[in-house]
Amino acid sequence: MTARTATTERQKRLGYELRKMRTAAGVSAEFAAGLLGVDRGAISAMESGTRAISTERLRTLACNCEVTDELYLSGLMEMAQPTGRQWWDRYRGQLPQGLLDIAAMEAHCTRMRGAYSIHMPGLLQTSDHALAVFRMVIPPLPEHEVALRLALRIERQQVLDRENAPEFVAVVHEAALRMQFGGRAVLRAQLDHLLNRSEQDNVTVLVLPFDAGGFPGAGQTVIYAEGPTAQLDTVQVDNSHGPDFIHAEAQLLKYRAHFALMESLALSAEASRDLIRTVASQL
């Protein structure tokens, strides 16, 4: 197989798991190469995500590394399957790779939890609200890229409406409910949309009110995406330079605790809807 010229976050993650599996079992790269019938450089390329691994070779490696967790192995096998062209590939070369990696993460997860301090959840934004956010980027984005980002966001939102859609729990700080991106009318429509979406069976919106006091984290947007097993969970953190993806075990434990505390501080789903209605009535 030829080396990839560019790698996605999902390909890098599979490579990370291959290396973790091999080193945890004390298997050398040279032994793994002989086992799979490839050279030493191919193992390095597989573990960096720049070269694919077949499901047959993956199972062979897993057996020799004494991987007994079938759910974990099944998740890895799914990641190794050729997927063909996905809908977000239409934006490749036109938008930053990180945005496409977010779409892929959402498409493959089984459940999502999000924490939002300033912005509304991207999956629950109206087009007008999203446009107002995109137009606040510094340096300003050209209008054709704003249009592409909006189109991508609208397509991403469809993940919540598909068959077997993931559950989505959004913890939204009261500050985000009051940020007037686009002005009062845009915010009022956004709050109405948030209320409507919160009634959906697989969507829960929990508001963290000002009077709840402090909360963990630095205030950035964080998504915790659950995989087929906890070992394959992913945390995505928004930064000004783009999204960061985190999957080290210690960090996953930290963010599970982060979300557990935030959800315990937040209002109930019904009380959250009441506060959203109150904020809307004040506009």
The contacts found for 18-25 with CB under 8 angstroms, 24 or more apart, are 18/46, 18/47, 18/53, 18/58, 18/61, 18/76, 19/47, 21/61, 21/62, 21/65, 21/67, 22/47, 22/61, 22/65, 24/65, 25/64, 25/65, 25/66, 25/67
CATH 1.10.1370.20 fits 9-80, yes or no: no
What confidence score (pLDDT) does residue 239 get?
Answer: 86
CATH number of 87-281: 3.30.870
Assessment of whether the complete model's pTM goes beyond 0.75: yes
Residues 167 and 226 sit within 8 Å (Cβ to Cβ): no
Q: Where along the chain do the CATH 1.10.260.40 domains lie?
A: 9-80
What confidence score (pLDDT) does residue 226 get?
Answer: 97
What confidence score (pLDDT) does residue 4 get?
Answer: 67
* The pair of three-digit structure tokens given for residue 51, joined into one six-digit string: 């070269």
Point out the residues of the chain with pLDDT beneath 70.
Answer: 1-5, 218
Q: Where along the chain do the CATH 3.30.870 domains lie?
A: 87-281
What confidence score (pLDDT) does residue 3 get?
Answer: 62
What confidence score (pLDDT) does residue 82 get?
Answer: 85
What confidence score (pLDDT) does residue 84 get?
Answer: 83
160-187 pLDDT, tens digit per residue, is 999 999 999 999 999 999 999 999 999 9
What confidence score (pLDDT) does residue 83 get?
Answer: 79
